[in-house]
Amino acid sequence: MDISRKTDYALRMLAMLAEDPECLLSVRTAAEEVNVPYSFARSIQHGLVQAGIVESLRGVHGGMRLKVSPDDVTIRQVVEAVQGPMVMNDCTAPDGDCARMGACCYHPLWAGAQALMRDYLDSVSLGDIVAHRQFPAVDPKFADREAFPEYATCACAYREE
């Protein structure tokens, strides 16, 4: 699991938008502020539009703006809009497959780490970050060793159901 530079830039651009959700921000201005090439910023904007996080308005006075409240956008949504689904390992991907998956002692570990990361990033909104609220909430089940089988089951068990 790697948070790409592209995701980092997307989060910085979104922070600019979140500071004034009604404001239109040109992609060129965002690119200059974040210090990325314009074409790269356009690529980021495209992914955010496709995910329904921002809307793009064309024309001389166009630009982009948040389509939803910053409090309704989780950091996980942004990561997945830019990078695709969050996976800890190939075997934990939705279509992941490994010949050793059913017997591998590490597969539940990677599945659990993935569940923890998703839960954590789902607990933090763009609004939380921009307002400097630093109290993300991770489900207490992650601190309970007995609950491990609930969130870190082997993917092959799902395929058999």
Q: What is the pLDDT of residue 136?
A: 65
Question: Which residues in the chain land under pLDDT 50?
Answer: 155-161
Hey, what long-range contacts does 150-159 have (CB within 8 A, 24 or more apart)?
A: 151/111, 151/112, 151/115, 151/116, 152/108, 152/109, 152/111, 152/112, 152/115, 153/108, 153/111, 154/101, 154/102, 154/107, 154/108, 154/111, 155/91, 155/92, 155/96, 155/101, 155/107, 155/111, 156/101, 156/102
What are the φ and ψ backbone dihedral angles of 18, each rounded to 5 degrees? -70, -25
Q: What is the pLDDT of residue 133?
A: 80
Q: What is the pLDDT of residue 161?
A: 37
What are the φ and ψ backbone dihedral angles of 54, each rounded to 5 degrees? -125, 160
Q: What is the pLDDT of residue 140?
A: 77
Report whether 146 contacts 124 (CB < 8 A).
no
The answer to whether the predicted template modeling score (pTM) of the entire model surpasses 0.75 is yes
User: Which of 49, 57, 73 minimizes the C-alpha distance to 23?
Assistant: 57
What's the CATH class of domain 5-160?
mainly alpha
Residue type, 160: E
User: Which of 64, 112, 110, 68 minimizes the C-alpha distance to 91?
Assistant: 110
pLDDT in tens, 63-87: 899 999 999 999 999 999 999 988 8
Q: What is the pLDDT of residue 135?
A: 67
Q: What is the pLDDT of residue 7?
A: 94
Where are the chain's structural domains?
5-160
Q: What is the pLDDT of residue 95?
A: 76
